[in-house]
Amino acid sequence: MSTKQPVTRAEARELKRIDEKMSREGGIPHEIVRREWLCDMATELKRMVKAFERTGRGAKDLLEALVFAETEGVDATLLAEIRRELGQRVKKRRAA
């Protein structure tokens, strides 16, 4: 039984582009990969804040993600912005 999942044409083009770039240039520097990873982490945190429902599990997951992001080095300014947004959401729910 195969566990392979088909890729879309767009994904295949992107994979081919990455493969060609790797062949030409020999890879992506670690600092670039890490920078993009941290950016993706901040984007995911923003998504989690927008979806936050104030459940026990949701709060635990969000807190863990914030701590992990801070530990890994997500920009402090971005984290402060994310925390402010979370605070505003909590404040609005308390007022309602």
Residue 85 inside a domain? The answer is yes
Residue 15 inside a domain? The answer is no
Residue 55 inside a domain? The answer is yes
The rounded distance, in Å, linking the Cα atoms of 33 and 81 is 23
Residue 23 inside a domain? The answer is no
Residue 71 inside a domain? The answer is yes
Residue 67 inside a domain? The answer is yes
Residue 40 inside a domain? The answer is yes
Count how many domains the chain has. 1
Q: Which domain holds residue 83?
A: 32-95
- The answer to whether residues 52 and 87 touch, using CB atoms and an 8 Å cutoff, is no
pLDDT in tens, the chain (96 residues): 456 778 899 999 998 998 888 888 877 788 999 999 999 999 999 999 998 887 788 888 899 999 999 999 999 999 999 999 998 888 887 776
Residue 14 inside a domain? The answer is no
- The answer to whether residues 49 and 62 touch, using CB atoms and an 8 Å cutoff, is yes
